[in-house]
Structures are given as C-alpha cells and as structure tokens.
Structure 1
Amino acid sequence: MAEEQTVSLVDVLEENEELEEEASAVLAGSDSDLCSYPQGYVKRQALYACSTCTPAGGEPAGVCLACSYKCHEGHDLFELYTKRNFRCDCGNRKFTELQCKLFLEKDELNSQNKYSQNFFGVYCTCSRPYPDPDDQHLGVGVPDSVELQEMICESCMNNNSFLWTYSAHLSVPGAAVEVKEETNPNVPKEEEKGDDVMEPSCKRSREEAEPGCRLKELQEIGQKRVHSGAVFWPSAWRSKLCSCNTCKERLSAAGLSFLLDESDTVLAYENKGKSSEQTRQGPDPLMSALDNLNRVQQLEIIHGYNDMKTELKDFLQRFAAEGKVSFRLKDLCWDYWEFNNNLSCPVL
C-alpha cells in the first residue's frame, strides 16, 4: 500500500508566501486605491483591459489597477501584466456607457498610449491567448537558465537589427546556434560586411560611430548568431549596452532609450513592489498564532488545508474550462461558497 503523501506546515506556509510574493511583484508597485490618471503616462504599472466595456472590434483601452477594482468589478478582464508609459483610459471616450468612479476629469483620449493585440486577450507573435491550451512557443526553446530575466521576440529583433550583434555576445546561451564569422584576409576590414547598426531610417553608418563605441567593437569581432526566434537575456545585460552619444541618439530615434534605464526592467518594478509590500506588513499573525498551538492542533490545520485545497482545485477547473484567466477574490469566494455551500465566505 502506497504511503499517504504528507505536507508539512512549513511547506504550506512557504507555498503561500511564494503566491503572495508573485502577487506583490505585479500589484504592489501600483496603487490599488487611487486612479493613476493624474500621474500622467506612468513609467510602468499593472494594467488590465476590460472585454465587457471594450469588446473585440472596438477601440482598445487599458485601465489601471485601482479602476479594475473600483470601476470594473465583476467584468471580464484581460491581465496585461505591466506596461510602460501608459495613462489610464477608464471612463474616457472609449467607454461609452461607463464613467470612472475615481477620477472624473479626464481627456477624451490618451494620444501617447500604445496599444496592441494584448488588449483583446491575444499575445505574442503567434496571436494566441494566455494561458494557451495548444502550448505555442516563440520559435525557439526557452533556455533552462537561472540567469534568464528578459526576452525580446524575433519581430522586435528584426525591427532593430543592431540587437542581433549584442545577442551574439550578451544573450543567454542555448536558445540559438552561435557561429563565428569567417573574415577574408584579402579584404580590408573597413570593407567587410557587418550588421547594420540601426534600421535604415536612422541613416547612420558604422563608420560614424564614436571612438570607443562598444557596439562597433562587437561588430568588428565578427561573432554572429542565427537571426531566428526570440532572444533571452540575463540580468544586468542592459548595463553592457553602449551608451556613447551616437548610440544614445540612435536608440532615441528608434524609441528605445528605455534600454539604457536599469530601473525600467520588470525585475526592478517587481522588487519595488515587494519592498513596498514588506514595508506595509507587520509581523505575520499566522506565525504568531502557530507558536501557541500544539502538535495535534497543527496536524488538524494541515488536514483541513489539504481538504480545502482539493475542493478549491476542482472548483477552479470550471474557470479553466471557460478560458477565464482573471477574476476577483470576492467573486471567487462567493462562487466557491455556492459551489460548496457548507463553507462560509470569509470576505463578504
């Protein structure tokens, strides 16, 4: 007879802590009470798209974290994770039958916002939902590396071809084959063909690069990689990009100045959220309570937790079957209470 699988109380608490950290990483860096509209085009924030108010075929729109709670409670929302330089659209002209409850004086449109297919629930170059039941990939296997921090899709790499030069030297290995370019000793180095430093619209050649330009130095090494598939980057890779005046101008012309900003990364945003959450939290009341329980009482808590976990898993399968990836805790608790009506809802 197989031995019954047991879960320690430490395992339970560690799993709960991991879930809280994941939520804090995305949400704690944004204000859950006040609309972000008065802040203008926020550097980075958690965003949602409401398919109830702006369905497919209409104009795309995004709402901040606070508005997703206060103005769109109970609606079908697409989680957009975080986006940069965005101003909350809630209640503007795109929402014909909804007025923002948190900030009334808003312009009809936010002209500097950028939209994509994400606002209608499809993602990536394959235009698939997330989570994707067909498990589509990015044209390349995801490398198994603890260094992995950021990803740039093949389309964006091709639109900014200078990134392929950096990828041959800075990206996480294993995602694509790297090859050494063979140079012809009979051809002067300045006549050798290399990657364009930037897209043609910038109209600057390699020879115009400043002395000591790191990008030019990498190009002259001649090491390349296959121009195919998404590219994965390790932590601190941005700090190794060239920041000479010429490269700064080129990045600005391409709208990529944020690549030189270490605080722009998702990791920096997440760390800010975690730090803010830890500052707000005091001592863990659960840990304090457990210190006063004996062994038998702790085991009873573990068994109760496991029973609830099994029932909740069955319940959540309903959401997976309907393709929903976003819901409110209050709605979840109420539906769960109806699903298993011998429980009382703790948050209603």
Structure 2
Amino acid sequence: MMSEEQTVSLVDVLEEDEELEEEASAVLAGSDSDHCSYPQGYVKRQALYACSTCTPKGGEAAGVCLACSYKCHEGHDLFELYTKRNFRCDCGNRKFNELQCKLHPEKEEVNSLNKYSHNFFGVYCTCNRPYPDPDDQVEDEMIQCVVCEDWLHGRHLGCVVPDCVELQEMICESCMNKNPLLWTYAAHLSGKHAAHLSVPGAAQVKEESGADESNTDLPKKEEKGDDVIEPSCKRSREEAEPSCRLKQLQATGQKRVQSGAVFWPSAWRSKLCSCSTCKECLSEAGLSFLLDESDTVLAYENEGKNNEQRQQGHDPLMSALDNLNRVQQLEIIHGYNDMKSELKDFLQRFAAEGKVVTPDDIRQFFEQQQSRKRRRDDAGRFYCT
C-alpha cells in the first residue's frame, strides 16, 4: 500500500504536468531550438544553459543557447539558467577546450560583453546553494532579480513576499544599494505607496517626457538619513532638466526604509523618468534596460506563447488528418472518443472505491485497449468476404 506522502490524485498530476508544460513552452518557445543564436549577437533575451561537463566549477563560466544545449551538449550535465539578457552563445569558443560547436563552429574566442554569475556553476541566492537543494527541507520559492538576474529564496529577500509575486518584478537589496536612485522610485512606486499611482497627477508619468510639473499631489520622497539621494551621473541636480520626474520625486521628501528586496507593481517601468539626464544616469549604471518594457521576462514569455500558438497552427498531426478522406477522419475521431470514454469509466471505478491509480493500472488499461483492437482486427479479417 502506498504511503500517504506518496499518494497524489490524478487531477494533481495532470494539473502539475499542464503547468510545467506551459512554463516550459513560455520559456523555450521564445528561443530558436534549431539554430545557434550566436549570429544574432548579444540576444536581447533568450533561454540559456551552462554545461558542467564542459565548463566545470573552477574553470571559466560559459553559457550556451537552447539549440546548442540540444545539438552540442546532449547527454551532458546542464544547469538551466532560465533566461538572461544581452547574452551571446559561448558554445565551442575558447572556454570549451576540445568541444566544437556543431551548429556554428566559427566563433570568436570569447564574448567580452557577456555577464556571468555563480548561476553558471549551478548555485543561486545569497546562500550560494544549488537548486533543487537536496539538503534544504524548507518549502520556498525562488524569485529572479530583474537587475542581476540571480535567483533568490523568498526567505532570503529581507522583505515580505507579496501574494501576487508572479505578476511583479523584484530587485534584490544588493542591486538596490548599488543603484541608490532606485530607492527614490521605490518610495513612490512599490508597496503601500503604489496606491498613489492612481491619483490624477501620478498617472501622467506614463508619458515619455511630459509629466505635469505643476502637480503637487505626488507622494513624498525617501531619504537615507538627512541626505537627499542624488542621481549617480555627471550632471548635478541643478543641471537636471525641468521636466525630470526623478527630481520632482526627490523634492517631495517621501521616506522609505532602505532595506530588503523591492517588489514593483505592473507597468512600473513606464513611471521611470526618461529625460536625457536620467537616461545618462541609467546608462552609466548599466540600467538602460529598465526603460524598455519589452525587456521583461513576462514580455518574453508572452512572445513564446504566441510563437507556440502559431506553431500549433501547423501541427503535423492536424495536417495529416486534413489529407484523409471524411470516412477516415470520422473513424479516427470515433476511435479517440471511444478511448476517452473508456478511460473515464476506468478512472471513475478507482474514484468510487477511493483507490490510488498506479502506473501499472494505466499500463494495464492501454494493454487492454491494444488487445481489444487486435481482436476487432482479427474478427474483421475472419468475416470479410
């Protein structure tokens, strides 16, 4: 008899399988599974992998694209990196010693603009642990920082994780502290202050450069001690453009405790100032991508889902069915419906008796289906005139 910990319902299995399939489709369908992405240069965002077989810990970090993970590293030990921005495939370059890329062998020795982290050696978070972690018994989700793109455990973020975390972008405390101007925005756009986004004046910051400077309903600014947070760029506040939203926010005096990760509401990037001064600040900090809403993982996943739907329109199975005559199509449809009905009846017996469906039960069901089909085929041949 199966233990209680091992017992799961068929509905649980199907739902989990569907969820994993949708997640995989969202991540992978946005990347090319047949062609190395190297010729595209530093791809805006793509699914990436690190090969511990070819580039083990202690060596140089390297990442490979989706297609190379299939064609060049089959059977190797790979770390799934989810997605990374502005990365060029390393497969077969100097870091891989003997291995040559099968899809695009002509590559420069290194990709100097790629950024690497401990993720490329299979460890994550501030705790520097693998995922999944066999020694970690705590159930906890991992969340990706949109700046450093590391994955952190919810319990190591130093803040309360919101219920709708899958709808929000997160910036870890380390990245916030490296870019102090983000704390100014955090005081107005995140947490309890997000409610201010709906007031008449705040809604106007969605415009590219025309925030209403006469508006005085903006929420108050955050300070650290008594010092006003300055833009980390060459121009001083006095030189900042009159329409600078960041300068407006700094002038309000809104305070916020500057600790812990920050979760940002939907469309928060559109609220960032895009004046020339702030663009220069963000560029110098390597944060220009924050002004690009299509940079988000959500935008990438939506593109992947759209690609998947377009590909489903060219399903080879459906194309094959289209080539059959109406009688053959009806026979296949009736056969499918019969099997679906029989499977439903089969599973309902288990539900009525409160029994758990095992892999052997499912295997037995399909063996019975095959046996019945053979008997029908044999009977048809016997009576055929």
Q: Under a length normalisation based on structure 2, what TM-score does the superposition of the two structures give?
A: 0.68
Q: Which amino acid aligns with 2:97?
A: T
**CA distance change for structure 1 residues 32 and 172 in 2, over 3 Å: closer, same or farther?**
farther
Name 2:116's counterpart in structure 1. Answer: 115
Q: 2:164 aligns with which of 142, 145, 148?
A: 145
**CA distance change for structure 1 residues 41 and 232 in 2, over 3 Å: closer, same or farther?**
same
More moved, 290-299 vs 95-104:
290-299
Residue 38, structure 1, aligned to residue 39, structure 2: yes
> In the TM superposition, what whole-angstrom CA distance separates every residue of 1:254-300 from its partner, at most 9, and x where no partner exists?
11111001110000000000110011014798xx6754446443233
Name 1:265's counterpart in structure 2. Answer: 296
Residue 154, structure 1, aligned to residue 173, structure 2: yes
Select the structure of larger CA radius of gyration.
2
> In the TM superposition, what whole-angstrom CA distance separates every residue of 1:42-90 from its partner, at most 9, and x where no partner exists?
1100000111111111000000001111111111111111011111000
> In the TM superposition, what whole-angstrom CA distance separates every residue of 1:126-159 from its partner, at most 9, and x where no partner exists?
3222234265522223122367421111111011
**CA distance change for structure 1 residues 180 and 131 in 2, over 3 Å: closer, same or farther?**
farther
Name 1:68's counterpart in structure 2. Answer: 69
Contact map agreement 1:154 1:230 (CA 8 A) in 2: yes
Instruction: Using the TM superposition, give the Cα deviation of residue 172 of structure 1 relative to its aligned residue in structure 2, in angstroms.
Output: 3.7
**CA distance change for structure 1 residues 270 and 306 in 2, over 3 Å: closer, same or farther?**
farther
**CA distance change for structure 1 residues 247 and 276 in 2, over 3 Å: closer, same or farther?**
same
Q: 1:194 aligns with which of 218, 221, 228?
A: 228
**CA distance change for structure 1 residues 220 and 21 in 2, over 3 Å: closer, same or farther?**
same
Name 1:213's counterpart in structure 2. Answer: 244
Structure with higher RCO (Cα < 8 A, 6+ apart): 1
Name 2:281's counterpart in structure 1. Answer: 250
Residue 105, structure 1, aligned to residue 102, structure 2: no
Secondary structure, in 3 states, of the residue corresponding to 1:280? helix
Give, in whole Å, the separation in 1 of the partners of 2:290 and 2:301: 17
More helix by share: 2
Q: 2:255 aligns with which of 215, 224, 228?
A: 224
Q: 1:237 aligns with which of 263, 268, 271?
A: 268
Contact map agreement 2:221 2:251 (CA 8 A) in 1: no
Give, in whole Å, the separation in 2 of the partners of 1:125 and 1:104: 36
Give, in whole Å, the separation in 1 of the partners of 2:358 and 2:190: 45
Let me know the Cα RMSD of the aligned residues.
Answer: 3.3
Count residues in correspondence: 291
Give, in whole Å, the separation in 2 of the partners of 1:243 and 1:207: 17
**CA distance change for structure 1 residues 310 and 271 in 2, over 3 Å: closer, same or farther?**
farther
Q: Which amino acid aligns with 1:27?
A: L
Contact map agreement 1:138 1:229 (CA 8 A) in 2: yes
Q: Which amino acid aligns with 2:168?
A: Q
Instruction: Using the TM superposition, give the Cα deviation of residue 15 of structure 1 relative to its aligned residue in structure 2, in angstroms.
Output: 4.4
Contact map agreement 1:164 1:227 (CA 8 A) in 2: yes
**CA distance change for structure 1 residues 306 and 215 in 2, over 3 Å: closer, same or farther?**
farther
Name 1:19's counterpart in structure 2. Answer: 20
Residue 91, structure 1, aligned to residue 92, structure 2: yes
Contact map agreement 2:221 2:249 (CA 8 A) in 1: no
**CA distance change for structure 1 residues 118 and 6 in 2, over 3 Å: closer, same or farther?**
closer
Give, in whole Å, the separation in 2 of the partners of 1:79 and 1:51: 11
**CA distance change for structure 1 residues 309 and 158 in 2, over 3 Å: closer, same or farther?**
farther
Q: Which amino acid aligns with 1:300?
A: F
Q: Which amino acid aligns with 2:35?
A: L
> In the TM superposition, what whole-angstrom CA distance separates every residue of 1:83-103 from its partner, at most 9, and x where no partner exists?
111110001110012111111
**CA distance change for structure 1 residues 305 and 258 in 2, over 3 Å: closer, same or farther?**
farther
Instruction: Using the TM superposition, give the Cα deviation of residue 301 of structure 1 relative to its aligned residue in structure 2, in angstroms.
Output: 6.1
Instruction: Using the TM superposition, give the Cα deviation of residue 181 of structure 1 relative to its aligned residue in structure 2, in angstroms.
Output: 7.0
Give, in whole Å, the separation in 1 of the partners of 2:164 and 2:293: 21
Name 1:322's counterpart in structure 2. Answer: none
Secondary structure, in 3 states, of the residue corresponding to 2:96? coil
Gaps of 5+ in 2: 1-6, 139-152, 194-218, 319-332, 363-385
Instruction: Using the TM superposition, give the Cα deviation of residue 17 of structure 1 relative to its aligned residue in structure 2, in angstroms.
Output: 3.2
Q: Which amino acid aligns with 2:77?
A: D
Residue 308, structure 1, aligned to residue 359, structure 2: yes
Q: Under a length normalisation based on structure 1, what TM-score does the superposition of the two structures give?
A: 0.74
Secondary structure, in 3 states, of the residue corresponding to 1:243? coil
Give, in whole Å, the separation in 2 of the partners of 1:161 and 1:264: 21
